Structure 1
């Protein structure tokens, strides 16, 4: 099992405290070890098998938002504490920018989280946002502007419960979605949208740009 980049240092703190804690009580030492194991479980990064076609989910969790805004479709996925928090590219494309946007830290499943702190990824054809929650304070990007990413490729992770939104290209509409609010999805594996017959998506053509 591999873990999210940079996450081992979070687990190291309680693990290192386990030794001196045993001088107080074995129970305190066990609690430290358990906390370290919990941190590692939270930051696990399993391999995924990306299907050959379709827009894939950028995150593990439950679909919390489906709506149209400015003639685009926004899909928001709420990640609970037990979900994998490594995020993946829903579509292939070139990263145009990665920007940190300051804001509040409301619970990620509430409407107020629309104003939360976030990490915004702008691609050629779509946008994605890693939205911090009430307890999430660390967002990390794995990609840089100008970099081409494959569909299903890891693009970053966020520590502790949070939300990931994707704003699909303008040629997609609500009818192209294959999921609805409340559905469980897996990053890089679950197809969340398929283009209509009038839309063609050729990842190989994008890669040649």
Structure 2
């Protein structure tokens, strides 16, 4: 390899070292801000190093066909050292600010969803529930009025058909149904009169 190609490879490794530092600090800050469980730290570290090694070898393959020389390690070390010496603090600050901005945006979206979607749905549900209750109470009220209006006719029907019932044997289930209906009738309308 020519000297020029070696300098290009070393410069690529220096940039790779800087990129490794940026990704490492970024992932560390994000993991801290999102409160990842402690058991995920070794898994995330392993994933980081696998991705970093793949990235470095890809860059190495592009610049010098994958040859491992001293200047490759030297360039990588310089990149990481420069990053942690001059850029780490700034990167951490920027990532923290970005995380705060993203959290604010997420809170805003949640609030908008709550105001424009959830609250109208809850309000509509309460309105429908109220209307159904009103309709049910109205139906009960109208039913009571109808039953009260039909009461004299029912008594007249019972009085007129009483001689017929003496000649016919009424099944037990019919008697039980009539008794139940009478008890229900008395319960509904005796309460009404007492009120």
How high is the TM-score relative to the length of structure 2? 0.21
From the two aligned structures, give the one with the greater strand fraction: 1
How high is the TM-score relative to the length of structure 1? 0.19
Higher RCO, 1 or 2 (CA under 8 Å, sep at least 6)? 2
From the two aligned structures, give the one with the greater helix fraction: 2
Pair member with larger Rg: 2
